[in-house]
Chains A and B, each alone.
Chain A
Amino acid sequence: MTHLGCSLLSCGVVDDRHFEMEDYQGAIARWCPGCGDHSILTAMQRLLEEEQLKPEQTVFVSGIGCSSRFPHYMKTYGFHGLHGRAIPAATGIKLERPDLDVFVTMGDGDCCSIGAGHWIHAIRYNVDMVVLLLDNNMYGLTKGQTSPTTPATFPSNTQPYGSYLEALNPLTATLGVTNASFVAQTAEWIPAHLFETLKAAYHHKGFAFVRILQRCPVYTEKIYEDAVRQPDAIEMLIHDDGIHIPDLDEIYKNQIIHDPGNLDEARRLAEPFDRFRLGIFYRNEKRPRYEDLRRLPVRTAEEKVELLNQEFDRYAV
């Protein structure tokens, strides 16, 4: 539960392990060559190495989809559950075991369509976890159906004459929910930015939502083609409290200074625009976290028996 109690038992055990990137590598990734998920996996393994996260204290939770294979490719604990339902499982894990570092990976169908209800409410709960939306604008695993984030007019197997609806904007959606505490966007083809974003998300205490623009070489290659080739299609949000990678200044010249503490501005910047904006839109660690609000003392078995006996007294005949 959101119990206060961590155990003393492992405190005394000296842990001088050092982890290399290989130590976080699970099964060989089976995504298509050119799939953006590979780059996200690498960035994630780099993050774990840099942070020296203990593999056994780390859990990757996912739904169903190409992107949801992620946990299998990490050598940590993993929970590969149901389509759209990664967040409830992750919430249960974190409530029961606040000592664990929990990462969630979801596809755009997973998060924004079938799992949309959980997504909205999880933002409100603001349970401490890193939540990655691997957004390829398409259903990948089931082979090319329109997703909520597919751009209007973009064809798929279910809407071959082009998507009928305007795409849902995961950023404005997230920023619009009460108690949002961390919202960022990055792109898998800019590894340095991807890495820094993941790192910032990891260090955020609360529900850290990162939308990662992700290429699918099979179904949505065209969508990000320009953005990959022309840095001009990108606009970086930079700030001392946000992300700023000087090495990228040369390449990505469109920059805008944005203070992640400014929610109104974040919402404005998240609106559709002719460039992709990358960076931290919003961050606020002061938002209440569900697990803190529901923190409870731990009781021994004997204490519980005694308390329950008092309960029975109330019902005694």
Chain B
Amino acid sequence: MPSESDPRVEKALSALAGPIELYRSAVVTTVEEVRGYLATHRSEDEASDGGVAAGLGVFAAGRIDFERFANLTTSATLEGDPDTLGKVEKAYDILRGISSGGEDAFCVRVKPGGRLREAVADRLAEIGRGFAAARLAGMARAGSLNSKNEDKLLAPLGFERWNQAERRLAPPLVVELEGAGLHAGDLAEFLDGNIKIVLVVSGDVAPAPLVRLITPSTFVLQTAAGAGLERFAATEGPAVAALMPESAAQFIHDPAAGSSPAARLELISFPEQSPKNAVGGMSVRQQLDELEQLKTLAGGPSVDAEGEEGAAPAAGPVATKVDKLAAWLLSQADLSDAG
């Protein structure tokens, strides 16, 4: 897909090389682990003389008696039941497919008129298929595979069913779409864990649509030339970016940059002209509202800005209380296995 598309997609992909490699490495590690599991559980493999001979290599030929070596060194074959092994093999194939897939796996294109939410949800579910396959293999390894849950595990797994660990390992996505289709709210439900979504926007677009996604721990970036993408890629936690036309607002909201909204938000450029037309169903008023919100967050009342220097102790306890409350709420929410 990248070939025929916007050069900005390439740019986004190369900025995301780190997170992509991180995800790919996790998949490869898993593939190798499952390979190891299958090898030790398929009697014809590792434990056999042939397997032993192969493992010992050419140097051992003529010097080591493979049959004896196999008999003396391999503990009783851990023969798995064929049914389980068959399923693990299927899971293995899925994971291998993912590990050998190219960058296309991380690129999504929203067709004109299509919904952003659907496109992203579908792709994430496809990626979730890998997590599900890994769950299956993990359960087989732990001996807890039961027929009730296993079939689901060879199918796509929607993001809503990913657990925290999986959300932390989520790969980044680069989404190409037209400005008219950019409904930021469509993405809200996916901004969790370590997910990173870059929107490559073409055509008319509202000036500051991503403002709606600013929450204290979400990295939000609007940029034209791609400035800030590196920081975006390196951030820990959920992140969303849009590569916009020059005319749009440009800003970085970086949760690590401070504790107050003003400290976190860096306004790089503000549109010279205010919006005149509705875009994709977003009225002028809605667009203006977003811009107003951006201004408020960026230059907002200076209580907190001062707090950075002198008033920290006063703000401190309040902040910690809020943090604690948030932490408590999080701990109550059962995110461990949404599926």
Contact = CB atoms under 8 A, between A and B. Distances in A.
Interface in A77-116: none
Interface stretch (B20-28, B116-124, B198-206): B20-28
B316 to A, nearest CB: 7
Contact of B26 (A4, A14, A303): A4
Contacts of B135: 11-13
Among B32, B141, B336: residue with most chain A CB under 10 A: B32
A300 B98 CA distance: 12
A256 interface: no
A3 B25 contact: yes
A7 B26 CA distance: 5
B8 to A, nearest CB: 25
B30 interface: yes
Interface in B163-220: 163, 165-166, 169
A13 B27 contact: no
Nearest to A9: B138
Contact of B131 (A4, A8, A14, A299): A8
Nearest to B141: A9
B33 A7 contact: yes
Contacts of A299: 28
A317 interface: no
A14 B312 contact: no
B108 to A, nearest CB: 22
Contact of A12 (B24, B29, B163): B163
A8 B130 contact: yes
A8 B139 contact: no
A7 B137 CA distance: 11
A307 to B, nearest CB: 13
B111 to A, nearest CB: 31
B26 A12 contact: no
B21 A297 contact: yes
Contact of B31 (A4, A10, A14, A300): A300
Nearest to B168: A11
Contact of A14 (B29, B32, B134, B336): B336
B337 interface: yes
A8 B22 CA distance: 12
A299 B130 CA distance: 18
B109 to A, nearest CB: 27
A11 B138 contact: yes
A240 B163 CA distance: 34
Interface in A288-312: 297-301, 303
Given A240-B312, A240-B316, A301-B35, A11 B165 contact: yes
Contacts of B95: 8
A260 to B, nearest CB: 15
A4 to B, nearest CB: 4
A8 B21 contact: no
Contact of B134 (A5, A11, A15): A11
Interface residues of B, number: 35
A187 B313 CA distance: 27
Task: Name B's interface SS.
Answer: helix
A251 interface: no
A7 B29 contact: yes
B142 interface: yes
B99 interface: yes
B32 A13 contact: no
Interface string A1-34: 0011111111111111000000000000000000
Interface in A140-199: none
B267 to A, nearest CB: 25
Nearest to A6: B26
Interface string B52-94: 0000000000000000000000000000000000000000000
Contacts of A298: 24-25, 28-29, 32
B55 to A, nearest CB: 12
A240 B135 CA distance: 43
A10 B138 contact: yes
Given A240-B313, A301-B35, A3 B29 contact: yes
A240 B309 CA distance: 12
A12 B32 contact: no
B166 A12 contact: yes
B25 A7 contact: no
Contacts of A303: 28
A4 B134 contact: no
B11 to A, nearest CB: 21
Contact of B29 (A5, A16, A240): A5
A138 B316 CA distance: 42
A14 to B, nearest CB: 5
Contacts of A16: 336
A8 B132 CA distance: 9
Contacts of A10: 138, 165
Contacts of A297: 21, 24-25, 28
B28 A12 contact: no
A297 B22 CA distance: 8
Give the 5 A-B residue pairs with the shortest CB-CB distance, closest first: A12-B135, A5-B29, A5-B25, A8-B134, A4-B25
7 contacts: A6-B29, A8-B134, A8-B169, A9-B141, A12-B139, A12-B337, A300-B28
Given A12-B131, A12-B134, A15-B336, 15 more contacts: A5-B26, A5-B28, A7-B30, A8-B26, A8-B30, A8-B130, A9-B30, A9-B134, A9-B141, A10-B138, A13-B139, A240-B313, A300-B28, A301-B35, A303-B28
